[in-house]
Amino acid sequence: MTAKKLLFAAMSAGIAMSMYAAGEQIVVETDDNAIVFTVGDNNRLYQSYFGQRLNGAADYKALPLGTEAYLTHGMEDYFEPALHINRADGNPSTLLEYKKHETVSHEGSTETVITLADPVYGDEVVLHYEAFGPENVFKSWTEITNREKTPVELEKFASSMLHFDAPKYIVTQYSGDWANEVNSLDQELHFGKKVIDTKLGARENMFVSPFFQLSLGDKATETSGDVLVGTLGWSGNFRFVFEVDNLGKLRVISGINPYFSQYPLAKGETFRTPEFIFTLSDKGTGEASRNLHDWARRHQIKDGKGDRMTLLNNWEATYFDFDENKLVSLIGEAKELGVDMFLLDDGWFGNKYPRHSDTQALGDWEVTADKLPNGIARLTEEADRQGVKFGLWIEPEMVSPKSELYEKHKDWVITLPNRDEYYFRNQLVLDLTNPKVQDYVFGVVDGLMTKYPGIAYFKWDCNSPITNIFSNYEGKNQSKLYIDYVKGLYSVLDRIAAKYPDLPMMLCSGGGGRTDYKGLEYFTEMWPSDNTDPIERLFIQWGYSQVFPAKVQCAHVTTWNKKAPVKFRTNVAMMGKLGFDLNLHELTSEELAFCKGAIKDYNRLKPVILDGDQYRLVSPYSGNHASTMFVGKDGRQAVVFAFDVHPRYNEKLDNVKLQGLDATRNYSVREINLADGSQSQDVKTYSGKYLMTVGLPLFTRNDLASRVYELKAQ
Ligand code: DGJ
């Protein structure tokens, strides 16, 4: 087909397509931002611009050519490339020339697809940029196709490469450890590289989260400054490379961590990278977060627009020490408390090796007969009788060396030949590259759902990184293991989603180990940390909220830090997806009354907290207080949370200026969640202008005090 005929065929199919070359510009726009690519005289693709939208074609034409968009190994560039292909003839270089581009409309987004190819070897690289207009979010990913006669090997294969030219670059990473996740840390970039990566395989985000903020110029604040926020949708090893070159320009390369992941591509085969999701704001990190929250709820999270259930979890109430009677009584407590669901955690399975501790039984997913003689059915029936839902904990990707599964199927376990095994939390990871193991893991969920149709929710845990890295299934291609493991996991999750499309699930990975947007395509919520000390949670929830909405951040009231009043603990948890994980008899009658009242308030305010706009007002990092507010999408209702952690003696207390309100409206302001569970009778009225300009005296000098205010437009 001639180029003209091809163009005509594409246009009649509703796809806008272009095959022009030299000087041609490709503009990818959201409501506020634009990425502009230009085809150079040498027929290569350049990124000419990424920033606020300009006044159209004339402005874009005036831009300098910029830097080659998707730089490859072996050509003229001296810095980190996005792509590196090894070939059978030993030539490790790739030259990419522009071939064509097209735009495809989707519901809520427009996708620009740019095809590049090596003029000598034919290998094709297709760059995808999907732009979500009102949310100002972009997604980008790459497809690499081997068009040669022989297999090739991908050495580096980035999802995205972006170029910046700013007076200063400050990257903010979110890192830490188990129970100490997402500590915010800033670093100014100078010549050279900064790398944020992980090679844990599973539980991949235990030390560092797969997202960052990049201030372009001075450090962005919540309300000012140019900032890029980026995250990778991949539940496996990731890598972000920030490299400042000799001219002071910055390139940001995002994708799978290529560490021990050389990936063979057979003739004609295509490799699709995960998606890099990013937003740019010139109004600071608050707006950037709200962009991502809106996008995620509308387009990414499983049941992103749906409701979420409050729950009572038994993990911290019992650990492994429970029997049927105890669980039946806890189901009664869930009912009494007024939550939607009872969630049975770890410890209900294994017979030859009963799960009485974390040392055994993973893999043996039958109910422990002497612990629960009437099976899960007795519990789902009891939950049904009490009018609450029933949820169940599983960890189906894992195996205990002390289990029947390990005895039967050692070949299904990721473990090294000729080496002693070493364990993380006494367990090993199953080899999800093997389709038989995928069937088995799918069968764990499917088997439980078939046998106990009363199960309404799963908490899917993943407590170990991939250790002892060797797959029986991959044979000589061990460097495929990290990637194929994740693909295997997604194939299982796809099957679960297809068969049980409405089944809500929590993405739990020992707390914080899996926190990525691809995972959240399959999960309705995630478990940010095992640390539920409310003071720590102020920081942890603050960290995750940079990228994820409150709707996915499970936050439970527990007995961590008993010095903090139940009211303080509950108010912190109300800023996320509220749950409880304690014995009710550990509460005084006043505390219990408070919790019941708070749950009622929470249910009423869920549309504001879970689906509204979040404004981080005072950072816990800034000192002795913290405050966050949520404004309903119609602007008529808002909730403000205020916390005093350890105020100084006689310290000066400043008003806190609220955000996101309608300046022209009047709002009634009433304190709710009082210690006795009631609401204050003292209702004051202020204009939105006043609240956002003068603010309110939200803080006190009392240790571990907290308040919640409800605002209603009049
Ligand atoms: C780790 C999770 O984060 C906890 O909430 C709990 O489910 C335990 N695993 C159970 O082993």
Query: For 527-578, how does the pLDDT look when each residue is reduced to its tens digit (9 = 90+)?
Result: 999 999 999 999 999 999 999 999 999 999 999 999 999 999 999 999 999 9
**Cβ contacts of 66 within 8 Å, gap of 6 or more:** 38, 46, 47, 48, 49, 163
Distance CA 35, CA 211 (A): 21
Query: For 18-48, how does the pLDDT look when each residue is reduced to its tens digit (9 = 90+)?
Result: 555 689 999 999 999 999 999 999 999 999 9
Q: Which residues are catalytic?
A: 461, 530
Query: For 189-198, how does the pLDDT look when each residue is reduced to its tens digit (9 = 90+)?
Result: 999 999 999 9
- Residue 647: the pLDDT is 93
| 508 pocket-lining for ligand 1 (C-beta < 6 Å) | yes
Does 378 score more than 70 pLDDT?
yes
- Which tokens is 677 given? 């569970």
Across the chain, mean pLDDT equals: 96
| 181 pocket-lining for ligand 1 (C-beta < 6 Å) | no
- Residue 675: the pLDDT is 87
**Cβ contacts of 106 within 8 Å, gap of 6 or more:** 130
Nearest residue to 175 (alpha-carbon basis) of 520, 515, 517? 515
CA-nearest residue for atom 11, ligand 1, is 346
Task: Write the DSSP assignment of 370-408 as a string of letters.
Answer: TTSTTHHHHHHHHHHHHT-EEEEEE-TTEE-SSSHHHHH
Nearest residue to 204 (alpha-carbon basis) of 483, 473, 472? 483
| β-strand partners of 555 | 578
Query: For 460-519, how does the pLDDT look when each residue is reduced to its tens digit (9 = 90+)?
Result: 999 999 999 999 999 999 999 999 999 999 999 999 999 999 999 999 999 999 999 999
- Which tokens is 608 given? 């504001």
Ranges of H-type helices in 311-394: 315-318, 324-337, 375-386
- State the distance from the centre of ligand 1 to the C-alpha of 197, rounded, in angstroms: 25
| 510 pocket-lining for ligand 1 (C-beta < 6 Å) | yes
Instruction: Using most ligand atoms within 8 A of CB, pick from 319, 530, 581 the residue to mutate for ligand 1.
Output: 530
83-86, strands of its sheet edge to edge: 83-86, 152-157, 263-265
- Residue 10: the pLDDT is 42
Query: Which H helix or E strand runs over 68?
Result: strand 67-68
- Which tokens is 483 given? 């990637």
Query: For 657-666, how does the pLDDT look when each residue is reduced to its tens digit (9 = 90+)?
Result: 999 999 999 9
Atom of ligand 1 nearest to the CA of 530: 3
Does 2 score more than 60 pLDDT?
no
**Residue 472: how many other CB atoms lie within 10 Å:** 15
Instruction: Using most ligand atoms within 8 A of CB, pick from 203, 311, 321, 461 the residue to mutate for ligand 1.
Output: 461
Q: Let me know the angle formed at the C-alpha of 494 by 366 and 408, rounded to the nearest 5 degrees.
A: 35
- Residue 18: the pLDDT is 56
Axis crossing angle, helix 435-451 with helix 481-499, rounded to the nearest 10? 30
| Predicted model pTM | 0.96
Q: Which of the four pLDDT bands, split at 50, 70 and 90, describes residue 679? A: confident
- Residue 16: the pLDDT is 54
Owner of token pair 């409501």: 31
Task: Write the DSSP assignment of 502-543 as a string of letters.
Answer: T--EEE-STTTS---TTHHHH-SEE---S---HHHHHHHHHH
pLDDT, mean of residues 660-673: 97
Q: Let me know the angle formed at the C-alpha of 71 by 69 and 72, rounded to the nearest 5 degrees.
A: 150
Query: For 196-233, how does the pLDDT look when each residue is reduced to its tens digit (9 = 90+)?
Result: 999 999 999 999 999 999 999 999 999 999 999 999 99
Q: Let me know the angle formed at the C-alpha of 582 by 578 and 588, rounded to the nearest 5 degrees.
A: 100
